[in-house]
A and B are shown apart, each in its own frame.
Chain A
Amino acid sequence: MNEVNANASAADVRGASDLAVRMEGVNKWYGEFHALKNIELSVKRGERIVICGPSGSGKSTLIRCINQLETIKTGRIVVDGHDLTAGGRNVDIVRQETGMVFQQFNLFPHMTVLENCTLAPMKVRGVSKAEADKTARKFLERVRIPEQAEKYPAQLSGGQQQRVAIARALCMNPKIMLFDEPTSALDPEMVKEVLDTMIDLAKEGMTMLCVTHEMGFARQVADRVIFMDRGEILEMGTPDEFFANPKNDRLKTFLGQIS
């Protein structure tokens, strides 16, 4: 990691201090399909970003590039001062420092809730079992399901599973949280409990990038809202200007459709 940083320019090191994520000229293709087009995005520490757009617009792909679940073709992504394009060790560090919550929860079905939360801290961070258990119970308490620790994921409701998924990510003590449509697979009555958990997290100052269609959440929590379509960022602004005064025609149509 030291060697890699030594190669980075002085500007990178200074920039690293207040930027959580920086994407420069990022392009990605799936075969012929241009999934991300010249993405330029800087996210400050503690900033909450909501990304919206029609399906297939590239919003999930964008946040999946941040922990390199997807690789990019051209451009540069720097997360917390670690340049992902340099590959190798940096990718491991970035994955440890970013937590991710998925649309389909992706809890490990053969493990209890507690085991789901303690596996990565023990195997990746080398934390002792006792300490990992303690941390896990603390975060399960925070997402308000401490009593479910010994159960298996399939015994929980969707909302509870998603809260476990958030706790599991938090157990790694991440600096950045990525949410990929965390409420889209939930029954309507469970959306609120998950959003409330995310709002709590935002209040604590976590850096968050959320792909979501929950515009109420965006208004309440986001520092900036981004609209994407066909792989491009078409509009970006504070919730007030974004919702009250959208400039892009496709965004106007999109807002008209979802509200």
Chain B
Amino acid sequence: MLIRPFGWNEFWIIVMAAQWTIALSAIAFAGGGIGGLFIALARVSDSKWPRLLATGFIRIFQGTPLLMQLFLVFFGMNIMGFAINPWLAAAVALTLHASAFLGEIWRGCIEAVPPGQREAATALGLRYYNRMRYILLPQASRIAVAPTVGFLVQLIKGTSLAAIIGFTELTRQGQIINNATFSPFMVFGTVAAVYFVLCWPLSVLARRMETRFSRATAR
């Protein structure tokens, strides 16, 4: 195989691969947002079984490496006879992963709302759904913005593991280019720089939103 130099062309191929990283992150974040809301609500439920199930789900995903979760979904589904491509496997595994983590983050935010809020709503006759929808979740969501964006940064970086099951996103594209150019410092330097460009503005945004919301609540 011919070794070719690392040039603009290679640079652009890596940069363009970021779209798959973004797509995978977006799917996992959206799916994890829906799943995480259910997990969080189950965790603060009045009844025992939803609470136990959600706790179990969170413990499993927090207590195992993301890479194992990817392997289990990818190889597990194939062994069970469901032909699953790396794209779908990565999307499913990262969605489950994000559901568990966002669920736990948001549970904390719901419980950070002062207990008097729940009591006042209950005393007014509001039941679980209305209490959540009008009193607890609006207040919890203000608290949740910064840690949620913080987790999104973790999630974007976590998608790099999907390279290992053969999904061609930013990291995998870097590996492919490196195999052709043997310039690991240039290649992975570029890959890292693209991750930084994606993640850093989000970190800044999280900090801004935090100050904005804390100002709004101190109104």
Q: Count chain A CB atoms within 10 A of each CB in B114, B119, B217 and give the residue with the most.
A: B119
Whether B123 sits at the interface, judged by CB under 8 Å, is yes
Q: How far is the CA of A86 from the CA of B135 in the complex (A)?
A: 28
Residues of chain A within 8 A of B217, CB atoms compared: 109-110, 154
| Interchain CB contact under 8 A, A119 and B125 | no
Residues of chain A within 8 A of B120, CB atoms compared: 100, 102, 106-108, 165
Please report whether the interface of chain A is mostly helix, strand, loop or mixed according to DSSP.
Answer: mixed
Residue count of chain A within 8 Å CB distance of chain B: 27
Whether A67 sits at the interface, judged by CB under 8 Å, is yes
Whether B130 sits at the interface, judged by CB under 8 Å, is yes
Whether B166 sits at the interface, judged by CB under 8 Å, is no
- Work out how many contacts link A and B, with CB atoms closer than 8 A: 67
Whether B197 sits at the interface, judged by CB under 8 Å, is no
Q: Count chain B CB atoms within 10 A of each CB in A98, A104, A123, A154 and give the residue with the most.
A: A123
Given A123-B130, A152-B219, A154-B218; A108-B117 close (CB under 8 Å) = yes
Residues of chain B within 8 A of A154, CB atoms compared: 217-219
| Interchain CB contact under 8 A, B119 and A102 | yes
Partner of A106 from the list B116, B126, B134 (CB cut-off 8 Å) is B116
Given A108-B135, A154-B218, A154-B219; A124-B126 close (CB under 8 Å) = yes
A-B pairs with the 7 shortest C-beta distances? Answer: A106-B120, A120-B124, A106-B116, A100-B123, A96-B125, A124-B125, A95-B125
**What is A's interface to B at a CB cutoff of 8 Å?**
67, 69, 92, 95-96, 98-100, 102, 104, 106-110, 119-120, 123-124, 152, 154-155, 165, 168-169, 172, 178
**What is B's interface to A at a CB cutoff of 8 Å?**
114, 116-117, 119-127, 130, 134-135, 138-139, 142, 217-219
